[in-house]
Amino acid sequence: MSSLIVNPQRHKASMDDRLPLKMRQYFKTNQSNFPLDTRIVGLDYEEFIREGNRPSSTLSELKIPKKLVWMRALGELGDDPQIHKCVAAWASDWGVGVTPMKAVGSSFVSPEVRMCCSLDHAMWFNGDFRADEWMLYEMEGIQFAGGRGVSSGRIYDQEGNMKVHVTQEILIRYKPGTEYPKFDKTLQW
């Protein structure tokens, strides 16, 4: 395996002793084996660490549950459009589900979070695109209540054309005794 640091954000997290050992090991293992080059837009690493190390109940205001990630497959994928759609389908599962957690000050590294998993994931493709070129993945949390979250995502090509629309529902379980936070974007309209 190459020693090239493909994603500096993952590399930094893999070496930060403020994160739980299990999370550092996750980032370190996936650093060399992760098949995507990803760059989170506007990631404030120190805020990520602070939010990941305090209970949700200490937050006094809602955060905007949005995330932007530039991503592309590592290496050439050839010209078969179905391969590019398969890669985008796999990549679309990374991050969209936990986006509504941001609204309540939680994240997948928060100490009170025990587990999170996808319940369902749907996609609509709008034409051909190349997953081995930079694509912008815009994710937005729609609702989070009772340990379930709903998100929406859109993947754009380099010209700004929406090529994929994604929705996902997730299940999140907290440690016993933790009050489940709630956020509903539809109540703000």
Closest to 136 measured CA to CA, from 27, 9, 11, 39: 39
List 9, 16, 32, 93, catalytic entry: 93
Assess whether 79 carries a catalytic annotation.
no
User: Which residue among 92, 110, 143, 168 is the active-site one?
Assistant: 168
- Taking alpha carbons only, the member of 45, 15, 35, 36 closest to residue 27 is 15
Select which of 25, 57, 118, 158 is catalytic.
118
Query: Is there a catalytic annotation at residue 93?
Result: yes
Query: How far is the C-alpha of 159 from the C-alpha of 57, rounded, in Å?
Result: 41
Q: Is 37 a catalytic residue?
A: no
Dihedral of the CA atoms 128, 122, 69, 156 (nearest 10)?
30
As a whole number of Å, the end-to-end CA separation of the chain is: 49
Q: Catalytic site residues?
A: 93, 118, 168
